[in-house]
Amino acid sequence: MKILVTGASGQLGSTFKALVEEDKVQGLDFVFKSSSELDITDYDAVNEELISSDYAYCINCAAFTNVDKAEAENELAYRVNVSGARNLAMNCNESNTILIHISTDFVFDGFITTPYLEEDIARPIGFYGDTKYKGERAIINNLEEHFILRTSWLYSEFGHNFMKTMIRLGTEREELSVVYDQVGTPTYALDLAEVVLHIINAHSIEYGVYNYCNEGVASWYDFAKAIFDGYKIDVDLKPIRSEEYPTPAERPKFSVLDKSKIKTTFGLQIPHWRDSLSVALNAYSKINI
């Protein structure tokens, strides 16, 4: 099967690339397109790519993911996250390509204290979350054969993410402050990529929206502490409230996702975030010796 990966230079796209390069993906022909090679906001470019090739699947890893910049760069965030998603959906429909789209826990407002189900009402509190939710709706309204995977706190040894930022800051500073009143679940990109491959290899037609993240719950403070402990970084880490670290975009205070649907549908065993973090830190150390 031929599979198109958009946004291939980001951390999830890079994870798929690494799996292919390490010969861990059998029987699948991947075509990787970075944002500079395929601009999903360009309808004609997307049409040409999908219509000219016999893709069975398109994995959309392209997104405007800078939560704070989205508050200032509204137009660009909307074009990538909404118009880009619509372009892919419409052209996947025309080319009979199944779309696997990555979304986010930020579609929820974080005002409840029980894990979010797929059918819970989406009420984004920031522009990034709003565009991601509108991108979901654009796909649902234009393409039946889709999988939308909502994930949270994605990190890996590739790209820009919280784990790599903490390692850098922890080695540069003696003291750091991280918020402890925002709760969610760190998700290792490799685990998410393997779930996507599982869905493809299963030839599933159970289309729809699914939550996927690692098991367990953490605050950003907990996540940072685990990173420093795992990577043997000695830094004075202090917990603070969100009000003490103001950002342009408001974050959900609670964005834990219920994964019952995806576990039941696909028979998944999901690793705990602490176990996956150990794997990620080991992978990071190997490429940063």
Give the residue numbers annotated as catalytic, written as ranges.
128
Write down the H helix ranges in the chain. 11-21, 43-52, 67-72, 74-78, 84-95, 127-142, 162-172, 189-201, 220-230, 260-266, 273-287
Helices (H) and strands (E) in the chain, counts: 11, 12
Distance CA 161, CA 178 (A): 15
Among residues 219, 246, 233, which one has the least CA distance to residue 175? 233
Computed from CA positions of residues 183, 185, 188, 189, in that sequence, does the dihedral angle turn out positive or negative?
negative
Cα distance between residue 7 and residue 88, in whole Å? 12
Structure token pair of residue 254:
């609670």
CA distance 2 to 58: 9
Q: CA 231, CA 121: separation in Å to the nearest integer?
A: 38
Q: Which residues, 6+ apart, have CB-to-CB distance to 172 below 8 Å?
A: none
Q: Are 218 and 239 in contact (CB under 8 A)?
A: no
According to DSSP, the β-strands at 146-151 and 57-60 are unpaired
